[in-house]
Amino acid sequence: MTDCLFCKIVAGEIPSTKVFEDEVSYAFRDINPQAPVHVLIVPKEHIASCAELTEANEALVGKIFTNIAKIAKAEGLDKGFRVISNSGDDAGQTVHHLHYHILGGKSMGEGLVP
């Protein structure tokens, strides 16, 4: 997609701090971190949100979650971490390219929604 922030980050047209990359996904540090570790992982192909996923994306999503485990380990999140994917307006999604937030490095308690 031509006018998508995260497509531009994947293409290297907008700078980012890379954390991990493989053939299908790219992970980088969130520009406005909400925790000591705040990494975003996105598919390289443009998918708008979780709501757009189909069976055709199952291998991709599986790979992304395996990569999340690798990233959490590399970031030293042995005490735990949280994975969040905002999908659509009610969830407050601001960038309409599927992404998973990986948050950790502090105790976040049990509540899911502030």
**3-state SS, residue 2:** coil
Contact region with Zn ion (CB under 5 A), list: 22-30, 53-61, 80-88, 90-98: 90-98
* Among the listed residues 4, 45, 53, 86, the single contact to ligand AMP using CB under 6 A: 86
Give the DSSP letter string of 12-46: TSS---EEEE-SSEEEEE-SS-SSSEEEEEEESS-
107 is in the binding site of which of Zn ion, ligand AMP, none (Cβ under 5 to 8 A by kind)? Answer: none
Q: Report the C-alpha dihedral over residues 100, 48, 89, 68, rounded to 10 degrees.
A: -10
The continuous run of DSSP H or E covering 81 comes out as strand 81-84
67 is a contact residue toward ligand AMP (CB under 6 A): no
Nearer to ligand AMP, 18 or 59 (CB): 18
* Placement of tokens 């601001």 in the chain: 94
99 is a contact residue toward Zn ion (CB under 5 A): no
Enumerate the active-site residues.
99
* Among the listed residues 38, 44, 46, 63, the single contact to Zn ion using CB under 5 A: 46
71 is a contact residue toward ligand AMP (CB under 6 A): no
